[in-house]
Chains A and B, each alone.
Chain A
Amino acid sequence: MDTIHTDIELASVSKSYPLGRSRVPIFEDLTLHIPTGDFLAIMGPSGSGKSTILNLIGGIDQADAGTISIGGTALGRMGERALTRWRARNIGFVFQFYNLMPRLSAAENVELPLLLTPLSARERRERVLTILDIVGLSDRARHLPSELSGGQQQRIGIARAVASDPRILLCDEPTGDLDRKSANEILDLLQMLNRELGKTIVMVTHDDSATRVARRTLLLDKGRFVARQEMPACA
């Protein structure tokens, strides 16, 4: 694996949400370090702020206080445009409900992030085919999401997330809506992306078998991280 450092650094981060005139804290003074190449599973009760952490790391929500920096770049300092471009290059999102464009084919969905790159139409088509092959859905390129099973849709979601080769994948309960068998396939796919392609993965999950593929698991509870299990980082 190459050595470009994309360590994720949360330093004294606080986040609250408005409730009437006051604000309710989700967490305060939260600190977290995720080294390049890590596969971190975050577990914890519903409403503890797991998704919020992914939103903050992915630059689609802003912290009230503290700094979030990735590869040494502080997200809070970036303007809206710069942040949008930064996301396109550095972050892949995987959603619980896949969030595929319902009227675009599997291939068109995977192509979406590639339209943000300077790749030509031919290069994009080749890239889409390669990635569909990696996720094992080459024969489903022309299918609409509604013509695919949940597990297949999530694999398209993952293909879309890695299409433009970002260093970091943020997955919010990627197996939350899947049966056991499909869930395991998704976890194996994510593990492969981490182990073989060196993607840094932060995955929020309720799925206990996630600990099987993750390098380490943290429990978020009452605004604090508790280590559940350590595995050797960076093979």
Chain B
Amino acid sequence: MPLPMTSFLRQTLALTRSNLRSLPRRTGIAASMVLSVALVVIVLLAFLSMAQGFRRTLQSTGAQDIAVVTSRGAFSESTSRLSTRQIHMLEAAPGLARKADGRALTSEELLVPVDAIRTSDGQTATLSMRGVAPGGMALHEGLTLSQGHMFTPGSAEIIVGDRLAGRYRDLGIGQHISFGHSTWTVVGHFSAGGSAFESEIMADAGTVQAMFDRPGDIQSMRAKLTSAAAFPAFRDYVETTLDMGLSARTEKDFFAAQAGNVSRIILFLGWPLAVIMAFGAAVGAMTTMLSSVSDRLTEIATVRALGYARGPVFLATLAESLMLTLVGCALGSALAWACLNGFGASTRGAGNTQLAFQLTFSGMIVGQAVVLALLIGVAGGGLPALRATRIPLRIAMSGRG
């Protein structure tokens, strides 16, 4: 043939057209294949958007000219401890922004877990309460009070992140809430540009140490640098010169590292589940496609007798499989989008405390779902398509249309 490639394409298109038009004969089983793929896609998208939303939340947090110092190897602040001596040494570090009196702009902080009751289901959940040293609020840039006023150092007053305020009992302005043996008064609500801080409760560090019986306990130090460019010198001093088992990161890197860890955990849970479900869907797809092939035995044998090659027969069957999985993918994506995008969720964040965030969709995520759906289509359609090419052609003579 002078144009074998064109002929191959024409054959494939003609068979695909005939094949797809005959789909209404198999509505039931085709629909079950579409639905099973849609289900897999919904599960995958739920996990991926959760991981993505989590990453977004933590990544929007953090300045480049604020350093966070923790003990080396601490995954989060809650597993870190700083001694008084270490803090004293840190205050002499180069690159620190200083007030007129020469004192460094730092905030010594600690996180304590506290229990609160969810309004939605009455269940107890663990939240993070951050103790911040006097003047330390200046180191939480982007944190603004949306209601009420700042806590007074030395008093049992707290301010509560906007994302917690409506979701837990007794966190309204002026309300009192008990954590363990201590009772606190809510004096303000704050927003923090959608960052992880919005999932925290904040109070005076000294009061937190006293109320929770943790005198002198400091987990991390935030330090304002003269500029982002001062960070490398600061880090060298902290990690190398001091050699006290400390680690320094910019606030931005600090949160990004945590985000990476947690979203990886979400993905490690999500992908295997999606893949197992995808295997199930592929088996279902194979059943559907085998029935499609047996439904078209005479048709396939006839076109082969007319001189159609095996390749186009294979591809036309595979095309049906891929088309059905793509419809399933579109359906699943649409449902997931409608139900999940922007849906608030919360998870156990760093230090086993609740972190609220929004599920976030993106083209990348939907792209991954499309790839998985196509893999299901190939896995489910491949064998039936191969079978279609092996049909004995004498069926054309004996079979009744």
Contact = CB atoms under 8 A, between A and B. Distances in A.
A120 B236 CA distance: 74
Interface stretch (A29-37, A94-102, A214-222): A94-102
A178 interface: no
Interface in B99-120: none
A51 B398 CA distance: 8
A144 to B, nearest CB: 10
Interface size bucket, B side?
Answer: 20 to 34
Contacts of B14: 108, 111-112, 115
A60 interface: yes
A121 to B, nearest CB: 9
A54 B305 contact: no
A140 interface: no
Given A95-B302, A99-B302, A101-B18, A84 B308 contact: yes
A103 B298 CA distance: 14
B400 interface: yes
- Interface majority SS on B: helix, strand, loop or mixed? helix
A103 B16 CA distance: 11
Contacts of B303: 101, 112
Interface string A154-198: 000000100000000000100000000000000000000000000
B3 interface: yes
Contacts of B392: 61
A84 B309 CA distance: 6
Nearest to B21: A103
For A58, A102, A115, the residue with the greatest tally of chain B CB atoms inside 10 Å of its CB is A115
Contact of B304 (A84, A101, A103): A84
Contacts of A113: 306-307
A87 B6 contact: no
A122 interface: no
Interface in A97-134: 97-104, 108, 111-113, 115-118
A116 B7 CA distance: 6
Interface string A189-230: 000000000000000000000000000000000000000000
Given A84-B309, A116-B7, 11 more contacts: A60-B305, A84-B310, A87-B307, A93-B302, A98-B401, A99-B399, A103-B21, A115-B7, A115-B10, A116-B306, A117-B1
Interface of A: 51-52, 54-55, 58, 60-61, 80-81, 84-85, 87-89, 91, 93, 95, 97-104, 108, 111-113, 115-118, 160, 172
Interface of B: 1-3, 6-7, 10-11, 14, 17-18, 21-22, 298-299, 301-310, 392-394, 396-401
28 contacts: A51-B397, A55-B393, A60-B301, A60-B305, A60-B394, A60-B397, A61-B392, A85-B1, A85-B309, A91-B305, A93-B396, A95-B397, A98-B401, A99-B298, A99-B299, A99-B302, A99-B401, A100-B401, A101-B302, A101-B303, A103-B21, A104-B17, A104-B21, A115-B10, A116-B7, A117-B7, A118-B3, A118-B6
